[in-house]
Amino acid sequence: MEIFKNIGKIPFEGSQSKNPLAFRYYDAEKLVLGKPMKEQLNFAMAWWHNLCATGTDMFGPGTADKSFGATIGTMEHAKAKVDAGFEFMSKLGIEYFCFHDVDLIPEAADINETNSRLDEISDYILEKMKATGIKCLWGTANMFSNPRFMNGAGSSNSADVFCFAAAQIKKALDLTVKFGGEGYVFWGGREGYETLLNTDVKFEQENIARLMHLAVDYGRSIGFKGDFFIEPKPKEPMKHQYDFDAATAIGFLRQYGLDKDFKMNIEANHATLAGHTFQHDLRISAINGMLGSVDANTGDAQLGWDTDEFPYSVYDTTMAMYEILKAGGLKHGGLNFDAKNRRPSYTYEDMFEGFILGMDTFALGLIKAAALIEDGRLDEFVKDRYSSYTTGIGAKIRSGETTLVELAAKAAELKTPALPGSGRQERLESIVNQVLFNGAN
Ligand code: XUL
Ligand code: CO
């Protein structure tokens, strides 16, 4: 049964189109730097926002009807969400989805019952995957909503809660493997603390690492070949979260010997909450060989929380795609729209238009990032900026063939150094604008 009646397959109509239900820039098969757009971007739908979230906030209930013709809280509804999700992805040409265990079914009081519901729904999802060719980008366990996780999952003070976290991860890994998923995510929503007065940080971090090791061992034992991801976020819901940003999470992985199995899943709005740009956390991940996947969304400059908006800033997506292209792309990853419509945008059309906005914004970002790379002036400038290290004493510093004594002697000979070359930030920003808006007049 068709759910999104009156909305057909979303066509690509080009930049002049005024049809709100058409792509203006996302042209799936168009080659950018030798690869079809859809492969450069690997778009995914987040089950939780798109099929579950109704716009509930602290001040009022949801505004969007996501019953899809069924009674909420039933397995019939869980199946209606599958129907809606696959129809939605097919109409938009989205080839991947991401899920938490409890996005898929109503959680029961008894975990055994929850697991049998997951078995039932995953059989149904698998049928749809086979019929449509749609794939799973990553799975995860929701270890933050249920009250048992009030003090975290791996970091909980309760060993029984740790067991439930382990059980959920085991099941979510089973499902991810059943779906042939490319990745498995840890977002440590409540892995952190409210006050140090009651918290043993070292103990908690060791337990989180233990849980991750157990997950890796189990995942590999059932044939999971993809990447495990940490999705950093500095705060919200906890005051302080352990996976603060990419640099912190990478340090943690190395400290506990998890760096061979894990990469980063960088979410734009999480990076900005940490006081960074989206581009910064992508770069830090990339230079450490840990750029895995991306949760594509955006925050709001005036609001200090995780608003999870659909990306609309072409400047931001250009700089993000610049990092991703330069890192050689996302191997087991993609761009997962961890994004939701604004509360007053509550209709089915809005669900589609949110994705069209996000997909077009990233398509433009991809086109413009490729243009920046082809233009070459940024790369050339950066290369030249460090050119004092290519010869003489600079080359010796780089190759490790010098000593503090030799360097001090060089400084004494120079007496006072020439000022480093200008950073030319304004010139470079102007180049970016020129590449973004060429053809604007
Ligand atoms: C929360 C968030 C999560 C993760 C998966 O801020 O981003 O939805 O992506 O648990
Ligand atoms: Co996310």
- The reply to whether the predicted model has a pTM over 0.95 is yes
Distance from the CA of 408 to the center of ligand 1, in angstroms?
Answer: 51
**Class of CATH domain 31-375:** alpha beta
pLDDT tens for 84-109 read: 999 999 999 999 999 999 999 999 99
Under 8 Å between Cβ of 226 and 181: yes
Average pLDDT across the chain, whole number: 98
The SS3 call for residue 367 is helix
Pocket test for ligand 1, best of 97, 298, 336, 338 (most atoms within 8 A of CB): 338
Please enumerate, as own/partner, the contacts of 51-58 that have beta carbons within 8 Å and a separation of 24 or more. Answer: 51/81, 51/84, 51/85, 51/88, 51/103, 52/81, 52/103, 53/340, 55/340, 55/341, 55/342, 55/343, 55/346, 57/343
> At residue 441, does pLDDT exceed 80?
no
Euclidean distance between CA atoms 411 and 148, whole angstroms: 62
Rg (CA), the chain: 24
> Closest Cα partner for 328 from 292, 280, 276?
292
Tell me the residue ranges of DSSP E strands in 226-333: 227-230, 240-241, 262-267, 291-295
- Give the ligand 1 atom nearest the CA of 48: 8
Helices (H), strands (E): how many in the chain?
16, 12
Distance from the CA of 88 to the center of ligand 2, in angstroms?
Answer: 20
Known active-site residue 49: no
pLDDT tens for 283-308 read: 999 999 999 999 999 999 999 999 99
Amino acid code (one letter) for 213 = H
> At residue 265, does pLDDT exceed 90?
yes
Euclidean distance between CA atoms 389 and 350, whole angstroms: 53
Specify burial of residue 34 (Cβ count, 10 A radius: 0-12, 13-18, 19+): exposed
Distance from the CA of 294 to the center of ligand 2, in angstroms?
Answer: 8
Model confidence at 246, pLDDT cuts 50, 70, 90, reads: very high
Under 8 Å between Cβ of 329 and 369: no
Euclidean distance between CA atoms 386 and 380, whole angstroms: 10
Q: How far apart are the first and last CA of the chain?
A: 48
pLDDT tens for 268-287 read: 999 999 999 999 999 999 99
The pLDDT value given to residue 138:
98
Residues within 6 Å of ligand 1 by CB? 100, 140, 185, 187, 231, 233, 267, 295, 306, 338
Question: According to the 3-state scheme, what is the secondary structure of 297-324?
Answer: CECECCECCCCCECCCCHHHHHHHHHHH
> Closest Cα partner for 205 from 141, 156, 261?
156
The pLDDT value given to residue 439:
78
Ordered alpha helix ranges (H), 133-193: 159-178
Amino acid code (one letter) for 176 = T
Under 8 Å between Cβ of 209 and 155: no
Q: What are φ and ψ of residue 219, in 5° steps?
A: -55, -50
Q: Is 410 left (phi over 0), alpha (psi -120 to 50) or beta?
A: alpha
Known active-site residue 276: no
> At residue 220, does pLDDT exceed 90?
yes
Cα–Cα distance list, 253 to 7, 137, 286, 331, 388 (Å): 45, 22, 15, 19, 35
Instruction: Name the closest-CA residue to atom 10, ligand 1.
Output: 187
> At residue 224, does pLDDT exceed 90?
yes
Instruction: Name the closest-CA residue to atom 3, ligand 1.
Output: 187
Catalytically annotated residue among 27, 103, 245, 316: 103
Euclidean distance between CA atoms 302 and 355, whole angstroms: 23
Considering every ligand atom, which ligand is closest to the CA of 305? 1
Pocket test for ligand 1, best of 97, 231, 235 (most atoms within 8 A of CB): 231
Euclidean distance between CA atoms 396 and 389, whole angstroms: 8
Instruction: Name the closest-CA residue to atom 4, ligand 1.
Output: 187
- Give the ligand 1 atom nearest the CA of 267: 7
Domain residue ranges of the chain, discontinuous segments joined by +? 31-375, 378-436
Considering every ligand atom, which ligand is closest to the CA of 98? 1
Catalytically annotated residue among 27, 49, 83, 100: 100
Distance from the CA of 405 to the center of ligand 2, in angstroms?
Answer: 50
Distance from the CA of 422 to the center of ligand 1, in angstroms?
Answer: 41
Q: Which two tokens stand for residue 339?
A: 């994004």
pLDDT tens for 313-358 read: 999 999 999 999 999 999 899 999 999 999 999 999 999 999 999 9
- Give the ligand 1 atom nearest the CA of 100: 10
- Give the ligand 1 atom nearest the CA of 233: 6
Considering every ligand atom, which ligand is closest to the CA of 273? 1
Considering every ligand atom, which ligand is closest to the CA of 187? 1
Q: Which two tokens stand for residue 336?
A: 């997962």
- Give the ligand 1 atom nearest the CA of 187: 10
The pLDDT value given to residue 166:
98
Q: Which two tokens stand for residue 435?
A: 């590449």
Tell me the residue ranges of DSSP E strands in 101-181: 135-140
Ordered alpha helix ranges (H), 152-244: 159-178, 201-221
Distance from the CA of 378 to the center of ligand 2, in angstroms?
Answer: 31
Pocket test for ligand 1, best of 140, 144, 146, 187 (most atoms within 8 A of CB): 187
In sequence order, the β-bridge partners of residue 44 are 96, 336
Cα–Cα distance list, 51 to 46, 85, 236, 237 (Å): 8, 7, 22, 22
Cα–Cα distance list, 122 to 71, 128, 136, 328 (Å): 20, 10, 12, 33
Examine residue 237 and say whether the peptide bond preceding it is cis (omega within 30 degrees of 0): yes
Instruction: Name the closest-CA residue to atom 6, ligand 1.
Output: 306
pLDDT tens for 47-88 read: 999 999 999 999 999 999 999 999 999 999 999 999 999 999
The pLDDT value given to residue 313:
98
Instruction: Name the closest-CA residue to atom 2, ligand 1.
Output: 187
Considering every ligand atom, which ligand is closest to the CA of 294? 2
Pocket test for ligand 1, best of 102, 104, 295 (most atoms within 8 A of CB): 295
